[in-house]
Amino acid sequence: MKKFTIDQIIRILAEADSPGNSVAAIARKYGISEQTIYRWRKKYRGFSSSEAKRLKALEEENARLKRLLAEKELEIQALTQVIKKNF
């Protein structure tokens, strides 16, 4: 499976949206499924390249923060169990 950059995705979507091009033809050209194009459209429709990059950065930051929160919750849970055992 090939990874596409945000810029490439935006260009592929623009090409698929241009008159005279079908989604099936664009999907074959880039070796991806039609469903991938539709998923990208749903996620990136109306975004410029910089906005899409910002969205990606925010999603990555959100995932990192969720992992940190999960780690802290596990730490708190472990400490609570230790305290309960001691009393």
pLDDT (tens place) for every residue of the chain, 87 residues total: 678 998 899 999 999 998 999 999 999 999 999 999 999 999 888 888 889 889 989 999 999 999 999 999 999 999 999 998 887
C-alpha 72/C-alpha 66 separation (Å) is 10
Closest residue by Cα to residue 40 from 77, 15, 65, 69: 15
Structure letter (DSSP) for residue 18: S
Question: To which residue do tokens 């596409």 refer?
Answer: 4
C-alpha 38/C-alpha 50 separation (Å) is 20
Q: List, for residues 18-34, the tens digit of each pLDDT value.
A: 899 999 999 999 999 99
